[in-house]
Amino acid sequence: QVQLVESGGGLVQSGGSLRLSCGASGFTLDDYAMGWFRQAPGKERERVAAISGRDGARDGTIYYEDSVLGRFTISRDNAKNTLYLQMRNLKPEDTAVYYCARGRYFLRLWSGSADYWGQGTQVTVSS
């Protein structure tokens, strides 16, 4: 049974940092593309970052949405079967529910087509 469980969200001041974790079970993390998405109140879900696995793309390819480039870092620990999102220099506009997602193919995941989603973790950045 595939499960994705996010943790690490919380309330932080503008300029602060948080690290989100996504524990994966029921599959081997690096066999798939993995990504982080977010949804703010009243807005559509948007992509944040994604990393390819042994899914056909060059292993370890990473994409970031322009709004987080240079501030966020996606990584994975295959031994722990866990995906991470290190977030630095957080801004109020980063406030959202953050979701971890699995995709069969990297570019499809980057376009928003995931086969499994986590339940989300709330990140709130105060000004």
- pLDDT, tens digit, 9 for 90 and up, residues 46-104: 999 999 987 766 677 999 999 999 999 999 999 999 999 999 999 999 999 999 999 99
Is the separation of the CB atoms in 22 and 5 below 8 Å?
yes
Strand (E) or helix (H) holding 50: strand 46-51
* The pLDDT of residue 56: 64
State the CB neighbour count (10 A cutoff) for residue 106: 24
Q: Average pLDDT in the 42-48 region? A: 96
Strand (E) or helix (H) holding 98: strand 96-103
- Token pair listed for 88: 């630095």
Give the percent of the chain with pLDDT over 90.
Answer: 92
User: Rounded distance, CA 45 to CA 70, Å?
Assistant: 21
* The pLDDT of residue 54: 78
Is the separation of the CB atoms in 33 and 52 below 8 Å?
yes
User: Rounded distance, CA 62 to CA 75, Å?
Assistant: 9
Where would I find the H helices in the chain?
Answer: 106-110
Q: Is 7 helix (H, G, I), strand (E, B) or coil?
A: strand
- Token pair listed for 9: 């969200």
* The pLDDT of residue 57: 62
* The pLDDT of residue 22: 98
Residue 38 has pLDDT above 70, yes or no: yes
